[in-house]
Structure 1
């Protein structure tokens, strides 16, 4: 007669065998799906590029890249002028109640990684709309330059200074980015523009989460005022909407697709 504990052990072994067999089937199914999913992803990218008229695409892209470069050059010149001013330090109701946290890795490495991914995704999945994206970013740079130049207030009290604590911005500050550039938050606005640009729900969700994370990070590190973050969404939405109208009227006629 088999001891009771022997029956229990036998049952556990059979249960384990069934579990392993089921896991094996799931693994084989996953292996079949992965190549298919990769092929579908590549096919989607190829389909997006099929409709591009390359002659007009390259020409329009080149013109808009020049415009974006000029707008950024304009920003660096006026940004330098803005940094020569001695502006008053301030705070606001929310900043006084938030803890001070060093979020600079998110604001530097995280910001660059997010935008590198966004640019790659735009080129892969929305090539026909890349000229519109560059047009929108050009308008964004012009508008933000005006805000930075006209802003009458300095940095928030207790700011975690990127010039001192961050590897990336310590090398860029004063040449490509500046101290007195608070109204409005570029860290928040840029991902929000990508959120408005993308059509995929997955990419839109990623960019919106990124924008909110950047907004929270600049507040926790005192690199922006609360109004800067709120204005980033409002001004960003306005820039995107006006860019759509202007692009449809003046730029799209020279950007042709088959």
Structure 2
């Protein structure tokens, strides 16, 4: 975590004047490897769309195990859907705006999100769980429409917390101490809120940043051979 909050060191290219060379999207798009990797990850993400609803309905229909969670019992129980998704979608919008002029970072974030979805589907398949007994259904204005859960909410998608992991991935995707500090605080807030709502066990939330790091590391393996592109760091 110390590395996440440490100042970002500029690369040699970031100290070279931009005059006379293409920067940002112009330089990235000129490389066939970048275009191929971007097209591939977008195709993979689109390919998940028809698969994900059926998979989560399968998870919901399958019985699981109820876990003891003494830490969860210490927290109050409330419906905090509105602040939870206000934070999540606000963080996603802000991070996307940050990444859009930074094609290399955006590419890695997209690959990281893809790997995160695959990892989560794998852990959900391997670890069938029942939600905490005091669950309050979390109402997501976007995902409710995708999964059509007005009659059958998806509540057995437990290990690991996708909301917390997505927030942790945003922390990893940005650069600059101010951005990362703000997103770390928002990630902690989301982790606490999903526990207050009892839509996850403590284990689900604590494991989420580890899987986010793994997904982002895998994304780095895919994109690491990209030549450096001038992407100014804004604090």
Normalising TM by the smaller chain, what interval? 0.7 to 0.9
Higher relative contact order (CA 8 A, sep 6+): 2
**Number of positions where the alignment pairs a residue of Structure 1 with one of Structure 2:** 206
Rg comparison, structure with higher value = 1
CA offset at residue 153 of structure 1?
A: 1.1
| 184, 189, 198: which one aligns with 1:213 | 189
- Contact 2:138 2:197 (C-alpha < 8 Å) held by counterparts: no
Q: Note the 1:1-258 alignment, pairs <5 A.
A: 48-49=24-25, 51-54=27-30, 56=32, 57-124=34-101, 126-162=102-138, 167-174=141-148, 178-248=154-224, 252=225
CA distance in 2, matches of 1:78, 1:170: 15
> Hey, what's the Cα distance between the residues in 1 that align with 2:92 and 2:50?
20
Is contact 2:65–2:130 with CA below 8 Å preserved after alignment?
A: yes
Extract unaligned runs of 5+ from structure 1. Answer: 1-42
TM-score by length of 1: 0.69
What runs of 5+ residues in structure 2 fail to find an aligned partner?
1-17, 231-235
Asked if the contact 2:95–2:174 (Cα under 8 Å) also holds between the matched residues in 1, the reply is no
Paired with 2:148 and 2:134, the residues of 1 have a C-alpha distance of 20
Structure 1 CA distance for aligned equivalents of residues 177 and 49 of structure 2: 30
Residue 222 of structure 1, CA deviation: 0.6
Stretch deviating more after TM superposition (88-97 or 99-108): 88-97
- Structure having the higher helix fraction is 1
Q: Show CA shifts across 1:204-238 (max 9, x none).
A: 12221121111011111111100001100122222
RMSD: 2.8
